[in-house]
Amino acid sequence: MKITFVGSEATPFAKTGGLADVLGSLPKTLADMGHDVSLIMPKHQAIKDNFESELTTVYTGTTRVHHEDKYIGIQTFTHEKVKVYFIDNEYYFGLRPHLYGDYDDGERYGYFAHATLNALMHVLPPQDILHLNDWQTGLIAYLLKYDAKYANLAPLKTLFTIHNIAYQGRFSKALMSHLNTDYSDLLEFDDVINFLKTGIMTADQVTTVSPTYKENLKHAYFAYGMQGVLKMRESSFSGIINGIDPETFDPSRDDALEKTYTTQTFVSGKKANKKALMNQFGLKNPQLPLVGMVSRITESKGFSLVADVIPSMVEKGLINFVLLGSGDPYYEDTFQYLHDSNPDHLGVYFGYSDGLARQVYAGADLFLMPSRFEPCGLSQLIAMRYGTLPVVHKTGGLKDTVEPFNEYTLEGTGFGFDTFDSDDLKQALLLAISVHGESDTFKMLQKRAMEQDFSWTQSANDYITLYQEVMKRG
């Protein structure tokens, strides 16, 4: 099968979040399974800085943006069996240090839609499936279906994945003059242009990144206004869980760790990594459960609950706590103050370090993810791979991937709470602390968590089945 992915970011080329991890792993898995897989993305400044010498230009042309012809360069190389095509335009992508957040994002990704379709017409051989991802690609499905310029691509089937419905690509209707296509109600929502809505309404199939998140999106609380739009596509809407690359996240050969380990050696391995992590943060009393977080520091990630619950638990000597991340200045200031007040038991690192993140995954006993909502989540999957038991709010992909501990049957791979509430989080943590004190049970849960298969293989097979179904439709 010939499959082309399109997205705004992918590891190892450019990354701001989980979308990049998905587009760095799923195409590779499908290619390893024998499929012909391509990826199209913008040539961001980071790509120019780090991969320029490996790229070959295979096409130059133009597309119209607001009465002007804008340059399209297409450069390519093959990475881990995936043919990667970069849309080269210095003004829109190459000279900007960030991927999003500019005043002209609508114009930039409108241009990207046309440039992608030019790549499909002039460079790539005929494809079976075009797999689009998030709002930055929503216009592509519309252009492919309704713009006469791309009529010869019409047999191509499209699948549009919502990774986080909170980000929709909303722009003033004044953007229409820059989009080089005819106006349609399909482009508009709440009196603005909405690229996410456009993708949902015009792709042949819509997916999201976990079965429970799909169900969540039926409700206004989670759907950010899109529940009615998704209801119209209900018969062509499905949820497929994300995975992680087991070669990238492997405690048996992770160079960032103090000591590597397997399911047979994890007891000594995790003990060594916990000691090293505590030393790095200056924490004391290794007998206490060490709770770790690697997260954007925002309210949506549950930091209102964390700020309510963690300080008293630290002060009472129930846990040690480490936080790695950045975000809301209010919560950063809160946890900086808590660290300053109790540096022996609470450590913070504001920013991001991949090596330190891996040390947290390996060195912590418990991994905290009390997100208000979580489309899929990858951190809980990585934590389990490293034998660190997640404590999660049972929402979205967290519910789908973490089996809460049952104190009667001893089943489970972590701990969960139902209501987004401080008391519920506190009770889940108290249960986790209690089980940590029962050494044999805790070790049994750690080993079980490490043995879970969260590779992309099953999800990739689910996508192939869905692709085949979509291709059979008229």
280 in the same domain as 168: no
Task: Give DSSP secondary structure letters for 79-108.
Answer: ETTEEEEEEE-IIIIIT-SSSS--TTHHHH
Helix, strand, or coil (residue 63)? strand
Q: Is 152 exposed, middle or buried (0-12, 13-18, 19+ CB in 10 A)?
A: exposed
pLDDT at 195 over 90: yes
244 with 385: CB under 8 angstroms? yes
pLDDT at 219 over 90: yes
Residue 212 has what pLDDT?
97
Residue 129 has what pLDDT?
98
110 in the same domain as 203: yes
Q: Could you tell me which of 142, 151, 236, 202 has the C-alpha nearest to residue 469?
A: 236
The DSSP bridge partners found for residue 193 are 171, 188
pLDDT at 154 over 90: no
Q: Do the domain assignments include residue 362?
A: yes
293 in the same domain as 169: no
DSSP class of 434 = H
Q: What span, in angstroms and rounded, lies between the C-alpha atoms of 1 and 125?
A: 12
Q: Do the domain assignments include residue 335?
A: yes
Strands 192-194, 170-171: pairing kind? antiparallel
231 in the same domain as 82: yes
327-357 pLDDT, tens per residue? 999 999 999 999 999 999 999 999 989 999 9
CATH number, domain at 282?
A: 3.40.50.2000
Predicted model pTM:
0.93
Please state the rounded mean pLDDT for residues 448-470: 96
Q: How many domains does the chain have?
A: 2
Q: Do the domain assignments include residue 254?
A: no
Domain range enclosing 143: 2-243+457-472
pLDDT at 433 over 90: yes
Tokens read off for 154: 């019409």
pLDDT at 474 over 80: no
238 in the same domain as 118: yes
228-267 pLDDT, tens per residue? 999 999 999 999 999 998 989 999 999 999 999 999 999 9
98 in the same domain as 33: yes
Q: Do the domain assignments include residue 220?
A: yes
